[in-house]
Amino acid sequence: SGGTVTQNVVITVTGTSDAPTVSASEDFVVSEEDLTNGNSGALIFTGDVGLNFNDYSSAGLSAKLKTSGAIPLDPSGALFDLSSDGVPMGYSLLTRADGTQKLTGFNFRTGEIAFVLDLDIVADGSGGFKVVYSFELRGNLDHLGIGAGDSIPLDFTVTAKNSAGETAENTFTVTINDD
């Protein structure tokens, strides 16, 4: 009586991986007339891409734009065909070490930045993570032959990938109204 027994116990925890989930995205309408003089200044808008991770850690998560090289693609896979002051747009795409991206659209001749789109992965307040964006309109875009009337709808498609390699895709729209 009063003796003790020592025994090694092996506990195996088997987890499951949930693919990223899709919810409604937050779309925005911006107007060039709100820029200083209708052509410069900066307007910044933020929104939820509608891609969510149930992962407990942000390690290994990524959010990437649908592109061909640095040129953004619309949901059908067509290249964005934008210009500013009659000059085709150039694009710079930065992929950060944390798996997020920053896209800059600029006037190819002058280098003047027309817009910046920044993707980020943030805590969602319920133990998971979500993909958010900020869109900064810095200059004007040409509105000839694109979109309906005086608006250019920019449909950005984002693919979220979790640490297990599972993916989900969603699209959000930033509509730019002419000044």
pLDDT digits (tens, 9 = 90+) for 33-80: 887 665 555 788 999 999 999 877 888 999 999 999 889 998 899 899
pLDDT in tens, 129-175: 999 999 999 988 888 655 445 888 999 999 999 988 999 999 999 99
What is the pTM (predicted TM-score) of this model?
Answer: 0.85
Single-letter code of the amino acid located at 52: N
Reduced to 3 states (helix: H, G, I; strand: E, B; else coil), residue 167 is strand
Residues 43, 113 contacting (CB under 8 angstroms): no
